[in-house]
Structure 1
Amino acid sequence: MAALVLLLVLALSSLLIGTGSSSPHDAWDYLVGDSAARADARLRLAVVGVRLPRTIAAVLVGACLGTAGCLLQAATRNPLAETGLLGVNSGAAFAVVLGLTFFGASSSAALLVWALTGGMAASGVVLLLAASGRAAGSPLRLVLAGSALGATFHGLTSYVLLGTQSTFDTYRYWTIGSLAGVRTAELVPLLPPAGVGLLAALCCARPLSALGLGDDGARSLGHHPGRVRLAVAATVSLLAGCAVAVAGPIAFLGLLAPYAARALTGARMAAQLVLSALIAADVMILADVLARIVIRPWETPVSVLLAFVGGPLLVWIARSSRLSTAGASA
């Protein structure tokens, strides 16, 4: 409940605070329906045209990454697992570069489509590779397939960028990771797939709880560990693809939010998923608000702020005595 209340407070703060000249007081007057404020076209653009889409995007990206990270860590029993393991980020990056270089994609909407398509295609290939062979669906096969494909896409992306300076300039801005420039029209098409992914994640809670007992224990309860992990990987791919399409690659969020949720909820998988989504959304909105005011009137990419916080926390987690047991609960 505290995480939900904090989310509402931060969402309101996101609507009130911006890099422009519109003050929080002016924005508040607009939100409460003041007639003079509502008649101000500049203020309406700032609140409804800029800050509202960014707030929705922050909630969407945070919830998707937090849920995806929680699923992946539980399925692989690895507390350091995050969405980049399935090749989503590298696939999205390669697709964006292809769209910029060979198909003339330049608008934010076009880049969103290319990023989502590339992320989903890459994770689809990872799933096909992980589903083949005798150890189909095993955590090791998923990680190896994702790492191999991610390295391949990274090399191809670098090769294409070497010969196209204009593409590199646009790609450099996208790959930093930011919510600047997000528009409502771009978010609406992503809401249904994100909603499907979040519902699918909740459906995976019970099988993942069974996996926490070990593969043999899960089989004794009627679950197929390989199929469960493949279903989780597909759900993670959908969620991470939506997040990357909106904000570009965002590091650490899908790793840290599940860790914090697990420390608060224990072994309750459904509670972990919900709390991971809320915590990640809270952190994402907070980082986006801070990004607007740290070097005002300019803006800091939100991923930079998350890296400053996430890097030291990751070191602390890696050194924690609880690391060995953090991924065992489901």
Structure 2
Amino acid sequence: MPDVTAAAPPSVVAQHVLARRRRTRARTIVVTLAMLGAVALLAVASLAIGSRPLAPGDVIATLFSDRRDAVGVIVHELRAPRTLTALLTGACLGVAGVLMQAVTRNPLADPGLLGVNAGAAVGVVTAIAFFGVGTASGYVWFAFAGAAGAAVLVTAAARAGRRGDTVGLVLAGVALSACLGAVVRIITLVDDDTFESFRFWAVGSFERRDPDVALQLLPFAVVGVAIAIIVSRGLDQLRLGADLARALGVSPAFVVIGAGAAITLLCATATSAAGPLAFIGLLVAHLVRGLGAIDVRGCLPLAAATGAALTVASDVIGRVIAPPGEIEAGIVAAFLGAPLLLWLVIRRAS
């Protein structure tokens, strides 16, 4: 099909581009609203499905009441906390995935490349082995500190190197993840009790999550999203090249560091709450682009909703396929994301 703007006057081309952006923005809004509806349905399913199934009507009625019977305990004290934690975790990973691929300009980039998962793992192992912490609400701060510390080290190493910022981030993240992974293996191999406790966190699970976990981490997620919104426009302009971005008044260093800070906060929040959930950020970034979103700022709400939907769906699927027990959400997410990663690698190789 011929390009209708090839021989058109500049004013006509500008109008055509503006109209296309408006259509894309309207489509993104519609898809985001539809995804929010899916999130609501999945949240109800998460509250209803389990070892004791509940009717959706009973779930909704109980959710907005103060019932103290068995159904009230199941909804308010067991399933509501894990559902809220899954929603928060998925939204954080979704936004972080979009930011990570935007700042590295690599469709295979995953938030874990910054060493966040490995840093959080070291924090959890330290809490269990040396401080006797054994609950999610107890080691969440150790995990957060380890994740944030690892991301800071990766960013500092990338800035100190001679390579470009994005290449340095990836290389430093891979190197630090390997080193921290070795530390975790050494500690868990020496101490069997630590290994047993760490194993539950490492698979990525929302089971037995305390109600306070999501509330404790919510401020960090809000700050991370706020930073993401601030640097999102700069990320869009960096796609045009660093020189042109500077000409437009954008500081590439500020954008890269800001995006790294946002990714750190969001990934540390998610990993601290639920353990390492592989492929969620990768899946969300590609799904958002496949649904038509173009600019980073415009797709952030869609990324948050898509990440929340995928994470809650992984948790629900894990409860459905192995009743009366369950398969952890991290394992289900890996089964969903691994085929996509393989397909992307094969497509890029060809």
Q: Name the TM-score, length of structure 2 as normaliser.
A: 0.86
Q: CA deviation at 1:226?
A: 2.6
Residues 125-144 of structure 1 mapped to structure 2, 5 A cutoff: 125-135=153-163, 138-144=165-171
Q: Which residue of 2 aligns with 1:42?
A: 70
Q: CA deviation at 1:23?
A: 5.0
Q: Which residue of 2 aligns with 1:203?
A: 230
State how far apart, in whole Å, the 1-side matches of 2:59 and 2:98 are.
36
Q: Which residue of 2 aligns with 1:87?
A: 115
Q: Is the 8 A contact 1:22 1:46 kept in 2?
A: no
Summarize deviations over 1:35-64 as a string: whole Å, max 9, x none.
Answer: xxx645221110011111111111100110
Q: CA deviation at 1:21?
A: 5.6
Residues 229-244 of structure 1 mapped to structure 2, 5 A cutoff: 229-244=256-271
Q: Is the 8 A contact 1:16 1:25 kept in 2?
A: no
> Does the C-alpha gap of structure 1 residues 32 and 166 become closer, same or farther in structure 2, counting only changes over 3 Å?
closer
Q: Is the 8 A contact 1:17 1:24 kept in 2?
A: no
Q: CA deviation at 1:174?
A: 0.7
Q: Is the 8 A contact 2:50 2:324 kept in 1?
A: no
Q: Which residue of 2 aligns with 1:170?
A: 197
Structure 2 SS opposite 1:296: coil
> Does the C-alpha gap of structure 1 residues 15 and 159 become closer, same or farther in structure 2, counting only changes over 3 Å?
same
Summarize deviations over 1:266-296 as a string: whole Å, max 9, x none.
Answer: 4222122221111111111111111122111
Q: Which residue of 1 aligns with 2:314?
A: 287
Q: CA deviation at 1:22?
A: 4.6
> Does the C-alpha gap of structure 1 residues 105 and 39 become closer, same or farther in structure 2, counting only changes over 3 Å?
closer
Q: Is the 8 A contact 1:178 1:247 kept in 2?
A: yes
Q: Which residue of 2 aligns with 1:65?
A: 93
Q: Which residue of 1 aligns with 2:172?
A: 145
Aligned residue among 278, 281, 284 for 1:251: 278
**1:306 and 2:306 equivalent?**
no
Summarize deviations over 1:212-263 as a string: whole Å, max 9, x none.
Answer: 1111221221222233112111110000000000100000001010111012
Structural RMSD (CA) = 1.9
Q: Is the 8 A contact 2:85 2:213 kept in 1?
A: no
Q: Name the TM-score, length of structure 1 as normaliser.
A: 0.91
State how far apart, in whole Å, the 1-side matches of 2:161 and 2:332 are.
42
Q: CA deviation at 1:183?
A: 1.7
Q: Is the 8 A contact 2:44 2:56 kept in 1?
A: no
Rg larger in structure? 2
**Percent identity over paired residues:** 38
Q: CA deviation at 1:32?
A: 6.4
Aligned residue among 14, 25, 44 for 2:46: 14
Structure 2 SS opposite 1:295: coil
State how far apart, in whole Å, the 2-side matches of 1:305 and 1:266 are.
26
State how far apart, in whole Å, the 2-side matches of 1:104 and 1:123 are.
25
Runs of 4+ displaced beyond 6 Å: none
Q: Is the 8 A contact 1:95 1:115 kept in 2?
A: yes
